[in-house]
Chain A
Amino acid sequence: MNTTDLPLFSELYTCYYQVVAKILDEASRQVLTRRQIEDLAQKHGYGESALSIVPRLIEGEWPFLCRKNTVPPTYACALKHPLFPQPLTRLQRSWLKALLSDPRIRLFFTDEQLTTLEGYLSDTAPLFRMSDFCLFDQYKDHDPFSSVMYRQHMHTILEALPQRRFLSIDYLSRKDRILTRTFLPCRLEYGQRDGKFRLYAMSLTKTGRQRMDILNAARILSVKKTNSYFPFPVDVDRFLDNAFCQEPLVLDITTKRNALERAMLHFSCYQKKVERLKDSNTYRCTIYYDKRWETELLIQVLSFGPVVKVLGPKVFLDQIKERVRKQALLMDQDRHSQTTP
């Protein structure tokens, strides 16, 4: 591994190259008008990329388009070969090689495929070693990535996902009941904190209504392919929007004990807004969260103790108050039994 000659920040990965490749790819299938080229640059580039890219392509400074004498003028790709897929750089292969030591890689490949992948990367050094990393506070009960059964289930799910194929799943519910139902796998969510995969799976009720269930991959007992397919892609976010909080969580955060910096980083994975309150060392943070994860957020807020103060919503504040009240009672009992510190 010699990283000095493998720059991460390289022209090879620049957004503009990708935008140009997309335009040329499209122009190799059909001639494009300037407007169409601008639209593609707008879609695939940064906010102002079209202003830099389009004139250079049209005027030939970047000589990849041929102008056709049509009205309005149209442009065809001057290159002869397909733009995609492109061969990988050494840095990219080196990254892939590093993944081979991650136990989760086996969830994606059969043993035969893994051997093929190892062969492809045999002359490549890994970019990093998993053993140099320690995820020191991940929950201990992460999914059993090495389990044969778990791996088989994941293989079946991963095969069915792009095919939009229904699966018959036996599932062990939280109440230890076995549920058998037909699901369309739509999305896999991985939780960094708990090391668990969750399957977002759609089922159809008897009345034909669609519902989205979330299954813990580790609680799946069996998965069988069916011969049914769903004709359209499913917009999973549409189902999740209903779970979004009506009222955001509002917190006041002090600057004591570096709380502002800690809290901002801690809550950075949420959609949030922060304001500095006038004439004080306090900041107001508004967090928009998914109701399904409210308890987790509550626990996170409690972990900050008095440097973070909850202002609302009422339902959240009431839960905090209730826990603090219970704690006060316990401290009182402790005081009465004279073991208070």
Chain B
Amino acid sequence: MSQYKELIKQFDKIRSYVRDFYIYGFKTRSDFQEKSGRTYDNQRRRMESWFGDYIRCDQNGHKKSVFLTLDSSRMAVNPLYQAWRSKTFTDNDITLRFLLSDLLSDQKPRSLETIADQIQENYKQLFDTQTIRRKLALYEKEGLIAKEKQGKQYLYRMPSPVSFTHPSLFPALTLGVSFFQGVAPFGFIGSAILDFWDQKNKYFRFRSDYLIHTLEDEILLPILTAIEQKRQILITVKSTKTGRAQTQTVTPLKILTSAQTGRRYVCVTQEKNCRISSVRLDSIQNVELLQTDEAYDKHMESLDAASPYIWGVSLGNVQTKEPEKVSMEILLDETEEDYILTRLEREGRGGWLKRLEPGVYEYQCLCLDAMELLPWIKSFTGRIRAFHCSNAAVKNRFWDDMKMMQAYYMDPRED
């Protein structure tokens, strides 16, 4: 039986656990049945260890749920980045990391043999040159070491930190990294830069920040490579509803991020039917890069043509479907409630806003899937004088929902 360790070898093993602890939080040991109870115990212990300040427990009878909860607007750094800092290493890894950095930080070039000799001489540590060579090769790939040929041998040196070579960039660069580690894709990398400089984000906070996105970054990276190189990918998608996993060959076109709902998608063309659709990034388990898609530019043209009619991420069947027409009439007090007008203007995507009469505005738009508008339209509950949609199912859903809301919240005697 292997001993429990705080660090892990593979990130994908803990991705779903972190997600369940953070997003749901109500699950107990018995809900994690895909793996053994012991695996759950180890993962729970890791979560408690990594996210200690934000872990809470709830006891319900004999069942205990452990969950991760925090107010993201108070966070200087996304606590979920801790998961990215959990990679295992060997004693040789850490020893060479510190000794090579210390030895080479004078920026003088040295041969492999000199490095091995000086490690022994300066730090009393004996390493065979093959081990050091492998480590230097890894660091060279990572950009931490520069290798240059002199005569018949290679010399290795460490580049200077940017604050030494470009001091005029500071403190602006620290402030910039402090900000972008919270808002840019792959923010963890920015946070690791701050670690490398022994700095902290002191001045920025991020409201309505969906911290969970960081867990998808390992999936996102090869997808972006595929987009840049116009290649197909083979993705393994696990349905959030059924839990079933299936593979699909697709061409990724764009990453669609929702600032309102916390979801991120990749917009793809399916190989099997050439349809454009969107796949949730958090449902993708694995990505494999395939060959170049010769029809890539054509797919992009289709997406660009459909873009004016996409409200969120749903494209329906772009090739055959006519856009659906939606219109709603909103009541507002023009002297006191101009913020409603502001909402319509800034939150409406495409579409037209028209003043029908004093205090009555009509918002109209064409979109490929009108069902996507309903959450936004329902957010105006209490002001909707009329709602029409060319798709009867959407119209009926809206009015049925309004009636159900009345049944929930209104005293029947008021009716």
Interfacial residues, chain A to chain B (CB-CB below 8 A): 1-6, 8-18, 20-22, 24-25, 46-49, 52, 56, 61-64, 78-93, 95-96, 98-99, 102, 104-105, 108-110, 112-113, 116-117, 120, 127-129, 132-141, 158, 161-162, 186-194, 198, 237, 240, 258, 261-262, 264-266, 268-276, 283, 288, 290, 299-300, 302-306, 309-310, 317, 320-328, 330-331, 333-334, 339, 341
Given A189-B206, A334-B385; 8 other pairs, CB 8 A cutoff: A13-B85, A18-B195, A62-B91, A80-B102, A83-B198, A85-B162, A139-B346, A306-B408
| Contacting residues of chain B (203-234) with chain A, CB-CB under 8 angstroms | 203-212, 217-218, 221-222, 224-225, 227-228
| Contacting residues of chain B (50-106) with chain A, CB-CB under 8 angstroms | 50, 52, 56, 58, 60, 67, 69-74, 82, 84-89, 91, 93-95, 97-99, 101-102, 105-106
Q: Given that A14-B85, A85-B197, A266-B261 are known contacts, is A120 also in contact with B241, CB under 8 Å in the complex?
A: no
Measured CA separation A334–B403 after assembly (Å): 14
In this complex, what residue of A is CB-closest to B177?
A96
Measured CA separation A160–B209 after assembly (Å): 26
A288 touches B94 (CB 8 A): no
Taking a contact as CB atoms closer than 8 A, the residue among B161, B168, B260 that contacts A85 in the complex is: B161
Q: Does B23 contact A (CB under 8 A)?
A: yes
Taking a contact as CB atoms closer than 8 A, the residue among B85, B106, B241 that contacts A15 in the complex is: B85
Measured CA separation A120–B93 after assembly (Å): 29
B402 touches A331 (CB 8 A): yes
Contacts of B50 in A (CB 8 A): 46-47
Q: Can you list 8 residue pairs at the A/B interface with Cβ under 8 Å?
A: A12-B144, A46-B52, A85-B161, A86-B101, A104-B180, A268-B210, A325-B382, A330-B383
B23 to A: closest C-beta gap in Å? 5
Measured CA separation A294–B11 after assembly (Å): 37
Q: Given that A129-B228, A135-B257, A324-B409 are known contacts, is A306 also in contact with B217, CB under 8 Å in the complex?
A: no
B313 touches A136 (CB 8 A): yes
Please list the 8 inter-chain residue pairs (A to B) with the smallest Cβ-Cβ separation, ordered nearest first: A90-B143, A323-B382, A306-B404, A47-B49, A84-B198, A15-B85, A108-B176, A326-B382
B221 touches A8 (CB 8 A): yes
Chain B 134-162: CB-based contact to A (< 8 A → 1; otherwise 0)? 00000001111000000000000011111
Q: Does B255 contact A (CB under 8 A)?
A: yes
Q: How many residues of B contact A (CB 8 A)?
A: 149
A265 touches B23 (CB 8 A): yes
A331 to B: closest C-beta gap in Å? 6
Measured CA separation A261–B97 after assembly (Å): 43
In this complex, what residue of B is CB-closest to A102?
B184
B176 touches A8 (CB 8 A): no
A304 touches B310 (CB 8 A): no
B408 touches A309 (CB 8 A): yes
A136 touches B84 (CB 8 A): no
Contacts of A240 in B (CB 8 A): 74
B395 touches A341 (CB 8 A): yes
Q: Does B24 contact A (CB under 8 A)?
A: yes
A162 touches B310 (CB 8 A): no
Q: Given that A5-B141, A327-B384 are known contacts, is A17 also in contact with B97, CB under 8 Å in the complex?
A: yes
Q: Does B182 contact A (CB under 8 A)?
A: yes
A190 touches B206 (CB 8 A): yes
Q: Given that A141-B342, A187-B204 are known contacts, is A305 also in contact with B401, CB under 8 Å in the complex?
A: yes
B406 touches A89 (CB 8 A): no
Measured CA separation A334–B255 after assembly (Å): 42
A264 touches B24 (CB 8 A): yes
Measured CA separation A81–B164 after assembly (Å): 14
A302 touches B168 (CB 8 A): no
Chain B 379-395: CB-based contact to A (< 8 A → 1; otherwise 0)? 11111111000000001
| Contacting residues of chain B (176-198) with chain A, CB-CB under 8 angstroms | 176-177, 179-180, 182-186, 188-190, 192-193, 195-198
B378 to A: closest C-beta gap in Å? 5
B4 to A: closest C-beta gap in Å? 9
Q: Given that A14-B87, A99-B184, A331-B402 are known contacts, is A268 also in contact with B22, CB under 8 Å in the complex?
A: yes
A138 touches B259 (CB 8 A): yes
A46 touches B6 (CB 8 A): yes
Q: Does B331 contact A (CB under 8 A)?
A: yes
Measured CA separation A18–B84 after assembly (Å): 13
B25 to A: closest C-beta gap in Å? 5
B405 touches A306 (CB 8 A): yes
Contacts of B225 in A (CB 8 A): 1-4
A172 to B: closest C-beta gap in Å? 15
Q: Does B347 contact A (CB under 8 A)?
A: yes
Contacts of A85 in B (CB 8 A): 161-164, 196-198
Chain B 350-388: CB-based contact to A (< 8 A → 1; otherwise 0)? 000000000000000000000000111011111111100
B167 to A: closest C-beta gap in Å? 10
Taking a contact as CB atoms closer than 8 A, the residue among A8, A17, A321, A339 that contacts B94 in the complex is: A17
Contacts of A127 in B (CB 8 A): 186, 189, 221, 224
Measured CA separation A147–B86 after assembly (Å): 42
